[in-house]
Amino acid sequence: MCHRLLADAKLHSLLARVDEDLARACRDAACRVCRGRLHRASYPRKARGPCAGEDVRRWSFCCSIEGCRKRHTPASVRFLGRRVYWSAVIVLLSALAHGVSPRRARQLREWVGVSRRTLSRWREWWLEAFVSSAIWRELSGRFDVPVDSRTLPKSLLERFAPLDQLDPLRMLSFLKLLGPLTTGNGDTAL
């Protein structure tokens, strides 16, 4: 089930490698403002959930030109903005709010350590802020059959695979869709 996916070392390794690739592309592109060279300015994150306690850094860069010093933070598949839980945890537990027995959801909450209040905030974000974002308007237009916005993120995630059949590669594909939300340049706050 989903708890196996969240604990899967292959998923965490895959997400870390993709974030490194996204960071490399950001660094190689140079400063968006003055075209100056970018220097590494990554910062530590205390990510919660399975594999918590790892030394995790959020990739970020800073322009080398004095007077500019613009920060450039590439998209991420590991983090959803400033949230402290891993993106996969946020997505899966939010999706489980639809269709999983209360007992099973309670077990997962206890295993991951997410409070009911936090789950409620995540659900509210998916159903209100996310559906009013530019990224959702763009994504929802890609599907022939409309995605039910009342059951996000489950309805969108199930376009990749049923929840009980999710694997690291399908989860990665889903998280890549959310990448624009992770840079601070999106139109909705997390």
What is 132-144 written as a DSSP string? GSHHHHHHHTT-S
Q: Please indicate, yes or no, if residue 189 is contained in any of the structural domains.
A: no
* Alpha carbon 169 to its chain's center: 14
Asked if residues 11 and 77 have their Cβ atoms less than 8 Å apart, the reply is: no
Query: Residue 116: beta bridge partners?
Result: none
Mean pLDDT of all residues in 10-18: 91
Q: Please indicate, yes or no, if residue 146 is contained in any of the structural domains.
A: yes
* Structural domain containing residue 176: 2-180
Tens digit of each residue's pLDDT (9 = 90 or more) over 29-83 = 999 999 999 999 988 887 777 665 566 888 999 999 999 999 999 999 998 888 8
Q: Please indicate, yes or no, if residue 166 is contained in any of the structural domains.
A: yes
Structural domains of the chain, count: 1
Q: Please indicate, yes or no, if residue 188 is contained in any of the structural domains.
A: no
Q: Please indicate, yes or no, if residue 89 is contained in any of the structural domains.
A: yes
Q: What is the pTM of this model?
A: 0.84
Q: Please indicate, yes or no, if residue 8 is contained in any of the structural domains.
A: yes
**What angle do helix axes 168-177 and 9-29 make, rounded to 10 degrees?**
40
Q: Please indicate, yes or no, if residue 190 is contained in any of the structural domains.
A: no
Query: Residue 140: beta bridge partners?
Result: none
